[in-house]
Amino acid sequence: MIPPAPVKPLVSLAELQKLDVRVGTIRRVEDVTGSAKLVRLVVDFGDHERRVLAGLKKERPDPREIEGRQALFVVNLEPRRMAGDVSEGMLFDIGSADGIVPALAVPERPVPDGSRAG
């Protein structure tokens, strides 16, 4: 068993509340041409869709297995250009930072797309 990583430095409640974490449904998983790691997730947040790039190619035998699933996303990050494409958020997953096979961070039951965490 891998021991947990040390806890990161403390942040204030005000800093934490700056993050906008929402539930979205992954409608499509698309290949990012020329990238060995990245896929493009087309995510429905209820009132809009976003494209979120995620390094899932090496983490899952078939990244498309998550199509139709709800997951948690940070939606107020600055857009970031990667592999010639732009990511409009960040997928929350559990384990990749610790070197274990990642799992999606998901709500325990279906909730409306765009629902906020916290």
Q: Cα–chain-centroid distance for residue 86?
A: 14
Query: Is 80 exceeded by the pLDDT of residue 11?
Result: yes
More confident residue, 60 or 80: 80
- How many domains does the chain contain in total? 1
58 inside domain: yes
The pTM of this model reads 0.92
Query: Is 90 exceeded by the pLDDT of residue 86?
Result: yes
Long-range contacts of 3-7 (CB under 8 A, 24+ apart): 4/98, 5/97, 5/98
Cross-strand bridge partners of residue 70: 25
Query: Is 90 exceeded by the pLDDT of residue 98?
Result: no
Arithmetic mean of pLDDT, 15-23: 96
pLDDT at 97: 79
Query: Is 90 exceeded by the pLDDT of residue 64?
Result: yes
Distance from C-alpha of 7 to C-alpha of 80, rounded to nearest angstrom: 27
Query: Is 80 exceeded by the pLDDT of residue 21?
Result: yes
The CATH code of the domain that includes 60 is 2.40.50.140
**Which structural domain, as residue segments, surrounds residue 96?**
22-104
pLDDT at 43: 98
Nearest to 87 by CA among 77, 95, 99: 77
pLDDT at 118: 84
79 inside domain: yes
